[in-house]
């Protein structure tokens, strides 16, 4: 099997999730079936767990969304992020609008959020795959249980619990899992809900204030 999901995990994540790797194997079997019957799954197989390429101990902030972009070529394994050559999706455009309002950052030229990831921001969707053209199509196939295990692992293997940014109702279902960790939450930045509690929520400055209050370096949210 080319590039199994487990092989994409940083060794520290693999160790922290040892008791849950069977969940990944079961999900991978589901993805295999989807491909066999002609249903395209996104993001590409070798990018599904890209969010876990950094050591678990480096995570300071967790941004949780819903599921990957369903348009082929958009999703690349980091929640809300796209490759530099891809046009900026509307949800991400709304994120950038709030970023500018909140911190005064200039509008980024691309939708590539890897500079956030390398600073310790885990860009995590609640569900990590989707059928092309069908938002929400992979809910209920094991990803929810896996991402719950990810939250538990973070709380166990980080010195300070990360700040959780929970956007949208699927993400906010993780609230009981985060315990006493700090939470910044709001509606999802999609065009359907951004004006119902996302715009004006100032998630970036609020998150940095929490980090600084704990003696941690703030995130440089501004992007090229």
Catalytic residues: 67
Cβ distance 130 to 79 under 8 Å? no
Of the candidates 129, 165, 102, 167, the residue with the CA atom closest to the CA atom of residue 47: 129
Reduced DSSP (H G I as helix, E B as strand, rest coil) percent helix, strand, coil of the chain, to 5:
40, 10, 50
Q: Is 195 exposed, middle or buried (0-12, 13-18, 19+ CB in 10 A)?
A: exposed
What are the beta bridge partners of residue 65? 125
Tokens of 199: 């715009």
What is the spatial distance between Cα 190 and Cα 192, in angstroms, rounded to a whole number? 5
Of the candidates 78, 106, 80, 98, the residue with the CA atom closest to the CA atom of residue 186: 98
What is the spatial distance between Cα 45 and Cα 186, in angstroms, rounded to a whole number? 30
- Which distant-in-sequence residues (6+ apart) come within 8 Å of 42 by Cβ? 68, 69, 70, 72, 74, 75, 129, 130, 131, 132
């Amino acid at each position: 099997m080319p590039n199994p999901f487990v092989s994409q995990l940083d060794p520290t994540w693999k160790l922290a999730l040892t008791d849950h790797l069977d969940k990944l194997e079961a999900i991978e079997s589901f993805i295999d079936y989807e491909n066999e019957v002609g249903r395209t799954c996104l993001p590409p197989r070798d990018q599904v767990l890209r969010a876990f390429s950094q050591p678990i101990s480096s995570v300071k902030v967790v941004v949780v969304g819903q599921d990957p972009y369903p348009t082929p070529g958009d999703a690349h394994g980091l929640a809300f992020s796209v490759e530099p050559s891809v046009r900026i999706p509307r949800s991400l455009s709304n994120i950038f609008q709030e970023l500018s309002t909140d911190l005064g950052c200039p509008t980024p030229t691309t939708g590539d959020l890897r500079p956030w990831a390398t600073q310790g921001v885990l860009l995590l969707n609640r569900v990590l795959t989707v059928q092309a053209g069908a938002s929400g199509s992979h809910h209920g196939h094991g990803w929810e249980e896996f991402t719950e295990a990810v939250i538990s692992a973070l709380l166990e293997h980080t010195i300070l619990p990360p700040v959780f940014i929970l956007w949208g109702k699927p993400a906010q279902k993780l609230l009981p899992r985060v315990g006493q960790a700090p939470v910044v939450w709001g509606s999802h930045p999609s065009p359907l809900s951004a004006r119902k509690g996302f715009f004006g929520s100032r998630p970036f400055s609020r998150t940095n204030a929490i980090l600084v209050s704990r003696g941690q370096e703030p995130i440089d949210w501004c992007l090229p």
